[in-house]
Amino acid sequence: MLWWVTTAGYLAILVAMGFTELFARWRPNRVAPLADMLDHVMRLRTTRVGIIAAWWWFGWHFLFAPTIQVAL
């Protein structure tokens, strides 16, 4: 049951992100498209290093160091 709720929540987030991106491309003066936001954010070297560090942390904790041991 919990798996379905979690999956539905993530799918709802993805659908909302898709609609937001479509709206941003339709009305770019009201909501900035994702590419424009990333261009603005990635101008500073400090931000780029911080994003790489965050992705490294997520990858290390969620991909290489599983916290739940599943018995098969």
d(CA 60, CA 13): 24
- For residues 35-58, give the mean pLDDT: 92
Q: Is residue 38 part of a domain?
A: yes
Query: What's the residue count for the chain?
Result: 72
Q: Is residue 10 part of a domain?
A: yes
**How many domains does the chain divide into?**
1
pLDDT band at 60 (very low <50, low <70, confident <90, very high): confident
Q: Is residue 71 part of a domain?
A: no
d(CA 42, CA 19): 24
In this predicted structure, the answer to whether residue 45 has a pLDDT above a threshold of 90 is yes
Q: Is residue 12 part of a domain?
A: yes
In this predicted structure, the answer to whether residue 72 has a pLDDT above a threshold of 80 is no
In this predicted structure, the answer to whether residue 70 has a pLDDT above a threshold of 70 is no
Give the pLDDT score at 4.
92
Domain that holds residue 54: 2-64
Bigger pLDDT: 16 vs 38: 16
d(CA 11, CA 62): 19
